[in-house]
Structure 1
Amino acid sequence: MKRLIYVLCAGLLLMATSESCNETEVGTIDKNDNQAPGQVSNAQVENLNGAAKITYSLPKDKDLLYIRAVYTSKQGVVRETKVSRYLDNLTLEGFGDTDIYEAKLYAVDKSENESAPLIVKVHPKTPPFALVQDLLIATTAFGGLDVAFENETESDVSIVILTNDKLGNFVPIRTLNTKSKIGSFSARDLPAVETRFGLFVRDRWGNLSDTSYVTLTPLYEARLDKTKMKALKMPTDANFYPGNDVDHLFNDDVSASTAYHSIDPVTMPQWFTFDMGQTAKLSRMAWFMRPGWFYALHNPRKVEIWGSNNPNPDGSFDNWVLLATHEQIKPSGLPAGQNSNADNEAAALGETIVFPIDAPAVRYIRFKTLKNWSDGVYVNFTELTMWGNPEK
């Protein structure tokens, strides 16, 4: 009998141990605790342009989940950054000036318990948008102005051009969103009268630079009359599909239903020639890609534009002058077949080539394609528009 009792007790003890192990396994964390983790410590600050990188020592708590850092902007906006427990640093961004700020660092565990804050003072350097603003250069251009910029930190910024509208309101007329290190952009279709312009830069957190002002007189520019333009087939020009000749580029139809398309035998480089029907000092040209094939297939990618007033009838480049060399850049940088909204918007506006102000006035144009988007030998696009100052 005693032996039976001993066996039953041993069995009950084994069951109790087993049930206890099922409830709390060795080494697991209770996710419903109310115990805050230890503080972050040993903070070291590296002040950056419009930002601050903070390196620290993590607390030893096994249930640590992440580190949270917060600061309050001058506008009262609380900005927050969270990083994994596996990192010993984080970067606070979006500072709009070079003042001293207090940042609070919290350790947070799996139960969302927060430690007491570690208060760290940061002193960010000049923010990127202000650096860009300081280096903007505005110059007179045909039909408006050109703005050159430098963005050394390659930060996301928006550069805004303002001028008076017809009601006298000083309003934005062109905004460039960019993270390019260097570049330029323009505002066009403005009258050739003395005009006051404003320039400012905005970042993605809504910080704004001061506005700078410049007064310029745009050079006269008009869209050239397409009804005067026609193909000038030269012996060395590329062949084209019947119904897809050069004249289809001058009908103001950017759909795929009418287009220019070269045909065998062709190689790269290749070119076609046309007569503008008037002599003009050119300011710019825009070509429009075939819809459905933006930044792909046979659309031109790298081109040269040549001008002449007396082309050699043998089709050679005698009596021609190189007006511009241009390579089309896809805004997003995505692979062929993957287009962002920025890509589609840029394609809808047309690919623009700006000619140098000192380029000579010409009547005949040769569009030479060095490379298309498929590395193939065909060229296909839908429309071409020219601007400049035509001779009377």
Structure 2
Amino acid sequence: MKRIHILFFITLLILSACKQDVLGPAEKDNVAPGQVTNLAVVNLNGAAKISYELPADRDLLYVKALYTTKQGVKETKVSRFNSSLTVEGFGDTAAYQVSLYAVDKSENASAPVQVTVHPLTPAVKLVRDSLELSPDFGGVNVKFTNHTEESLAIIVLANDSLGQFSPIYTHYTNLRKGDFSVRNRPSVPTQFGVYVRDRWGNLSDTLIVTLTPLFEELLDRTKMKGVVLPTDAPLGHGGSIAGIFDGNTTGGHYHSSDAARMPQWFTFDMGVTAKLSRLTWFMRPGYFYSLHNPRVIEIWGSNNPSPDGSFDASWTLLTAYTQIKPSGLPEGQLSQADTDAALAGETLVFPLDIPKVRYIRFKTLKNWSNGTYVNFYELMLWGDTH
């Protein structure tokens, strides 16, 4: 019986301790901790890192910074295990005052210690100054450099259907450098604007240019059909050339058989003779930048393919292309930029001096897994048939 009483007493102690943990510190006081000392500032792009020494208070919980940017009052907190914090969200290089507080477990705050920071040029301005705009097929191409790898939005403006100069596309990125195109614009002189926004709402000024998009039109997929030549890769796993022209990026697909070897190719008739501007293919859903999706390819064109299937003088190399994963992450890992790019389709742009052709050979030199067959879900082509 004595043993039972002892066990019951121990259980009560454990429950009492758990209750105290849930409700907060066992003891509260009204004594504020000491201030942080020996402050040092390292100014960063649109931010500043502030180092300090902590007070000796045993119940110290965290350090917080309060400051005001052009976008309003902001707060940053770090635990007592840190000896520095970073204040960010500054949209210019003006001087800003930051107040630092030491806070204990009873939420008592020390008297503030004030320090002035002078942020370096923010990412929105750096990226804005790096922008390069040029005519592209059906629109405009925007190149940018983002040395800080800040998460940004690059907004493109043009006249909408009501003639209002307004945003028509937003490109989200944290990549160090890149480019993107905005299309489906007529081939007439067009005014485009571009500005940059960060996650705190800071905006750059707007770059405005007038340029004429290069003419192109989407070729009619219903006129496209496979042409089987002797050296083409055998099909397998329910794949077909028709599947990549069915208008469905998640349905019918091309799939070569296990007997295929690298390099390999398939041939199709576009149904029209065209000077091609660009080609887009869509990877297999669930396997972006992996397995048997084509990675290193060549696109060949002809108007009179040799019936023996050889790459003789009847074929012209239109372009060679290597697919690059935006994030550079290992296979099986995807960033949001990777997923967005995959859903938009992988687009290659043809050189301006290629000849008009009717027949296309899609040649894969390497897929993403170094495997023996190729698998993807849809293919689209643009060009000029006139």
TM-score grouping bracket, smaller chain normalisation: 0.7 to 0.9
- In structure 2, what is the equivalent of residue 222 of structure 1? 217
Q: Using the alignment, how far apart are the partners of 1:328 and 1:233 within structure 2?
A: 30
1:15-69 CA-partner distances (Å, limit 9, x unpaired): xxxxxxx99xxxxx97412111111111111111101011111111111111111
5+ long unaligned stretches in structure 2: 1-15, 18-24
Secondary structure at 2:126 match in 1: helix
Deviation at 1:89, TM superposition (A): 1.2
Q: Does residue 49 in structure 1 map to residue 45 in structure 2?
A: yes
Deviation at 1:267, TM superposition (A): 1.6
Deviation at 1:339, TM superposition (A): 5.7
Q: Using the alignment, how far apart are the partners of 1:156 and 1:292 within structure 2?
A: 25
- In structure 1, what is the equivalent of residue 30 of structure 2? 34
Describe the shift of the 1:152–1:369 C-alpha distance in structure 2 as closer, same or farther (beyond 3 A): same
- In structure 1, what is the equivalent of residue 366 of structure 2? 371
Which of residues 46, 70, 93 in structure 2 aligns to 1:74?
Answer: 70
- In structure 2, what is the equivalent of residue 19 of structure 1? none
Which of residues 231, 240, 247 in structure 1 aligns to 2:242?
Answer: 247
TM-score (structure 2 length as normaliser): 0.87
Deviation at 1:242, TM superposition (A): 7.9
Deviation at 1:273, TM superposition (A): 1.6
- In structure 2, what is the equivalent of residue 275 of structure 1? 269
Q: Does residue 291 in structure 1 map to residue 285 in structure 2?
A: yes
Residue type at the aligned position of 2:35:
Q
Please tell me whether the aligned partners of residues 259 and 372 of structure 2 are also in contact (alpha carbons under 8 angstroms).
Answer: no
1:4-43 matched pairs, under 5 angstroms: 31-43=27-39
- In structure 2, what is the equivalent of residue 307 of structure 1? 301
Residue type at the aligned position of 1:118:
V
Q: Using the alignment, how far apart are the partners of 1:178 and 1:116 within structure 2?
A: 40
Q: Using the alignment, how far apart are the partners of 2:197 and 2:215 within structure 1?
A: 31
- In structure 2, what is the equivalent of residue 182 of structure 1? 177
Q: Using the alignment, how far apart are the partners of 2:118 and 2:112 within structure 1?
A: 19
Q: Using the alignment, how far apart are the partners of 2:222 and 2:351 within structure 1?
A: 25
Secondary structure at 2:127 match in 1: helix
Structure 1, 378-387 or 363-372: larger mean CA deviation: 363-372
1:164-197 CA-partner distances (Å, limit 9, x unpaired): 1111111111111011111110010111111111
Deviation at 1:330, TM superposition (A): 5.7
1:125-274 matched pairs, under 5 angstroms: 125-241=120-236, 244-256=239-251, 258-274=252-268
Deviation at 1:350, TM superposition (A): 2.2
1:329-348 matched pairs, under 5 angstroms: 329=325, 333=329, 336=332, 343-348=338-343
Larger radius of gyration: 1
Give the total of aligned pairs.
363
Which of residues 103, 116, 120 in structure 1 aligns to 2:115?
Answer: 120
Secondary structure at 2:124 match in 1: helix
TM-score (structure 1 length as normaliser): 0.85
Q: Using the alignment, how far apart are the partners of 1:348 and 1:153 within structure 2?
A: 26
Please tell me whether the aligned partners of residues 308 and 321 of structure 1 are also in contact (alpha carbons under 8 angstroms).
Answer: no
1:170-228 CA-partner distances (Å, limit 9, x unpaired): 11111110111111100101111111111000011111111110001111110012232
Q: Using the alignment, how far apart are the partners of 1:31 and 1:318 within structure 2?
A: 87
Secondary structure at 1:133 match in 2: helix
- In structure 1, what is the equivalent of residue 55 of structure 2? 59
Sequence identity, in percent?
A: 58
Q: Using the alignment, how far apart are the partners of 2:111 and 2:354 within structure 1?
A: 68
Over the aligned positions, Cα root-mean-square deviation in angstroms equals 2.5
Q: Using the alignment, how far apart are the partners of 1:358 and 1:94 within structure 2?
A: 47
Residue type at the aligned position of 1:34:
N
Q: Does residue 383 in structure 1 map to residue 378 in structure 2?
A: yes
Please tell me whether the aligned partners of residues 323 and 346 of structure 2 are also in contact (alpha carbons under 8 angstroms).
Answer: no
Q: Does residue 84 in structure 1 map to residue 79 in structure 2?
A: yes
Deviation at 1:342, TM superposition (A): 5.4
Secondary structure at 2:42 match in 1: strand
